[in-house]
Amino acid sequence: MDILATAVPALSEAWGLILQPVVIGYLVLGVVMGLAVGVFPGLGGIAGLSLLLPFMFGMEPVYGLALMIGMVAVVPTSDTFASVLMGIPGSSASQATVLDGFPLARKGEAARALAAAFASSLFGGLVGATFLTAFILIARPLVLAFGLPEMLMITALGLSMVAILAGRIALKGLAAAGLGIMIGTIGEAPAAGSLRMATYDVPYLVDGLKLVIVGLGIFAVPEIVSLLRQDQSIAKGAKLGAGWLHGVRDWFANIWLSIRCSLIGVTIGVIPGLGGSVVDWIAYGHTVQSTRDKSKFGKGEVRGIIGPESSNNAKEGGGLVPTLLFGIPGSGSMAIFIGAVALLGSGQIEVGPAMLKNNLDITYSIVWLLALANVAGTILCIAASPGIAKLTTIRFTYLAPFLFMLISFAAFQSGQNFEDLVALFVAGLIGIFMRRFDWSRPAFLIGFVLSAPIEKFSNQAFQIASFRFRESFADGMDYVFSPIVIVLLIITVISVILGLRQAKLIMSEGNVASGAKRAPLIMLLVITAYLTIAVVDASTISHFNITDKIVPMVIGGLALLCCLVLLVQMIRKPEGNVIFADRELAGDDAKAPHGLWATLAWFAGLIGLTGLLGFVLALLIFLLTFFRIRAQASWKMTLILTGAGIALMCLMAWLLNRDFPPGLLQEAVDLPWPLK
């Protein structure tokens, strides 16, 4: 009752603050800017908020909040465009959307997929906000109940989704996830700073690989290359099928799924330290498990979009809890948000424990601004989706160079090194071969994303648990096996068992033909070799820093074990067994008019030229030759498209105040922007 007495007036004050034309105006402005930034893969809330920061100083707090929240709220909505239309995970929040969204686009149902996604996003955002309104007042004890063992278990639950996405050969999926985790451990260890698979001579590797680059490489590059080889449009036959109304109806038919996934999203979002990386996978796993006919997943099941998309916008709402109540950012964009809030007005809003006491009205304004931003963003996105869906009917050869351009630019933004482009290319190669030989790419990505949390939480929980056990055995057991841990453990075990049983039905990459032994065997040997080197490398870390070697050695060892069993199976099984899946034997890739290497060479050429001449000059040459030679476009068309591409890049870089990747030329000569 006491709570109600404070909440109700604060809530009405909050509405009073929000419902002013100026505030709504700023909100819409933020939403439009957020959409503009979010549609580009790899650019998200961080880039957008950095853009707004200079204007925050001394701004009327509610206006500033409206602007920033409008921006942040729509990023998980707008990045759906890239996930569905191009198979590019726009951010960690939309990885799972790719699995079913992109196949729908290929069927010509992009508008339906987008509309279902946006309706789910909107609904998720609203459910999240409603839930938070009541929950935020009592959230503190719950958030504090999630200690390290509990977070480790949630991470494990996220990882258990590998089981369901492992593909036809479970061992291959497990090995792929293990490989993902191992790639995620490259660089300086978070605990004691030992180097894994890196040296100080290559400073780039010391910082580890970024999710943007690995995500783009594993998912986007293989799809772009494959589509480019087939020389078609994204939607097969360039026909558009079911439209946006159909998508909204799909969402409504699955409204209970949408509610459940929204609640999953908001609950996991509340827990600080996990961020968005697991939410969409857990929601996807739940969706698969709660669907009777599982055979369509990975081939364009609309429920596979509704689940993750409902959860990822709800997660943004949940993520506000640790940010506002504890002053601890749940993500990079929230960290900037906290800093920016202190710049607003005379700095009277202080994010942190005092927020609920002193600024409950502001807290509620933030929650409901988020919900309103979702509404505005969704309406804009749905309105845009039939038009944008037409992109899928364009001959892909005209889109591909722009996509190469965009993903290179996006990759470069993550670390601002030329090596970012090289890393993108290498990740792309890994992705291409994983796709070809039917190694689960989602499993790999889940492993990569969860690599750091697994290592961090298991090390830290282990250390604290060992102190507790030293105090007394009962104390230690209390700490490790809390009721929350036990519940999560049971859910995880069930989801692994169910997942493994169902995995054979879910072909996240479609059906792949099988054939001769040689090529798949080489792929396995390469992976085995890498894992062996990585494990040996980890074992050389001094025993003093056991925290830095234990995870790579254990996980690497397990993955290696999977590989060895696979090796034995490959030797024994006859040619043509599913274990020898190879996409080059039959299907779209095999029939494609262009070869893999010739197509990939274009991308390699762009990166190589960038290393010599810098990005803009390289892009100029790349676009000109690509349109003229590969696409056989007329000179007029070539010049128009090239000019448009260069202009778009320059505009984006100028707006975001970013540089372009420099090459050797730039080291030798001082050139004016944008050539510098």
Partner 1 sequence: MTIAKLARHTTFAVAAAAAFALPAKAEVDFSDETIEWVIPFSETGGSARWANFFAPLLAEAAPGEPTVVVKFMPGAGSTKGANWFQDQEHDEGTLLFGTSGSTQFPYLLGDPRVRYEYKDWIPVMASGTGGVAYLNAEDGAKFDGSANGLKDKTFIYGSQGATRLDLVPLLAWEMLGMEVEPVFGIQGRGDGRLMFERGEATIDYQTSAAYLSGSVPLVEAGTAVPMMSWGALDENGNIVRDPTFPDIPTFKEVCEATEGCETSGEAWEAWKAFFISGFPVQKLAFLPQGTPQEVVDAYVAAFDAVRSRDDFDQLAAKQVGQYPVFVGDEAAQALELAINVPDNAKVFVIQWLKDAYGVEVGN
- Binding residues (CB under 8 A) for partner 1: these are 46, 49-50, 53-54, 57-58, 144-148, 190-193, 200, 203, 206-207, 272-273, 322, 326-329, 332, 335-336, 339-340, 342-343, 346-347, 350-354, 415-417, 455-456, 459-460, 463-464, 467, 470, 542, 544-545, 547, 657
Least distance to partner 1, CB of residue 404, Å: 25
Residue 463 or 532: the one with the smaller Cβ distance to partner 1 is 463
What is the DSSP secondary-structure string of 355-397? HHHH-HHHHHHHHHHHHHHHHHHHHHHHHHHHHHHGGGGSBHH
Residue 384 or 422: the one with the smaller Cβ distance to partner 1 is 422
Give strand pairing partners of 188: 195
Across 456-558, where does the E strand assignment appear?
none
Of the candidates 609, 611, 422, 612, which has an alpha carbon nearest to the alpha carbon of residue 624?
Answer: 609
Least distance to partner 1, CB of residue 615, Å: 17
Of the candidates 180, 120, 76, which has an alpha carbon nearest to the alpha carbon of residue 430?
Answer: 180
Distance CA 269, CA 13 (A): 26
Residue 201 or 293: the one with the smaller Cβ distance to partner 1 is 201
Contacts of 74 (CB under 8 A, 6+ apart): 31, 34, 35, 38, 373, 374, 376, 377, 381
- Residue 49 identity: L
Least distance to partner 1, CB of residue 364, Å: 20
Residue 568 or 655: the one with the smaller Cβ distance to partner 1 is 655
Is the distance from CB of 99 to CB of 76 less than 8 angstroms? no
Residue 146 or 444: the one with the smaller Cβ distance to partner 1 is 146
Q: What burial class does residue 637 get, using C-beta atoms within 10 Å of its C-beta: 0-12 exposed, 13-18 middle, 19+ buried?
A: middle
Residue 272 or 499: the one with the smaller Cβ distance to partner 1 is 272
Residue 115 or 214: the one with the smaller Cβ distance to partner 1 is 214
In this structure, what are the phi and psi dihedrals at residue 58, rounded to the nearest 5 degrees? 75, 5
User: CA angle, 384 as apex, 381 and 385 as ends, to 5°?
Assistant: 85
Residue 260 or 456: the one with the smaller Cβ distance to partner 1 is 456
Least distance to partner 1, CB of residue 199, Å: 11
Least distance to partner 1, CB of residue 460, Å: 5
Contacts of 126 (CB under 8 A, 6+ apart): 371, 374, 375
Least distance to partner 1, CB of residue 422, Å: 15
Across 67-200, where does the E strand assignment appear?
187-188, 195-196
Distance CA 451, CA 178 (A): 9
Residue 236 or 676: the one with the smaller Cβ distance to partner 1 is 676
Contacts of 312 (CB under 8 A, 6+ apart): 76, 93, 94, 121, 124, 265, 276, 279, 280, 283
Strand, helix or coil at 195? strand
Roughly what angle, to the nearest 10 degrees, separates helices 244-253 and 255-270?
A: 80
**Residue 622: both structure tokens together:** 């790349």
Least distance to partner 1, CB of residue 44, Å: 12
Residue 15 or 57: the one with the smaller Cβ distance to partner 1 is 57
Least distance to partner 1, CB of residue 553, Å: 17
In this structure, what are the phi and psi dihedrals at residue 398, rounded to the nearest 5 degrees? -80, -20
Least distance to partner 1, CB of residue 214, Å: 17
Long-range Cβ contacts of 459-463 (<8 Å, 24+ apart): 459/191, 459/547, 459/550, 459/551, 460/148, 461/147, 461/148, 461/149, 461/151, 461/152, 463/547
Residue 634 or 657: the one with the smaller Cβ distance to partner 1 is 657
Least distance to partner 1, CB of residue 272, Å: 6
Phi-psi label, residue 416: left if phi above 0, alpha if psi -120 to 50, beta otherwise: left
In this structure, what are the phi and psi dihedrals at residue 645, rounded to the nearest 5 degrees? -60, -50
Of the candidates 258, 276, 260, 256, which has an alpha carbon nearest to the alpha carbon of residue 268?
Answer: 276
Residue 632 or 657: the one with the smaller Cβ distance to partner 1 is 657
Residue 15 or 654: the one with the smaller Cβ distance to partner 1 is 654
Least distance to partner 1, CB of residue 203, Å: 5
Unique residue bearing structure tokens 């104390």: 475
Strand, helix or coil at 416? coil
Least distance to partner 1, CB of residue 667, Å: 11
Of the candidates 476, 469, 484, 490, which has an alpha carbon nearest to the alpha carbon of residue 141?
Answer: 484
Least distance to partner 1, CB of residue 471, Å: 9
Residue 113 or 156: the one with the smaller Cβ distance to partner 1 is 156
Residue 30 or 401: the one with the smaller Cβ distance to partner 1 is 30
Least distance to partner 1, CB of residue 547, Å: 7
Least distance to partner 1, CB of residue 674, Å: 14
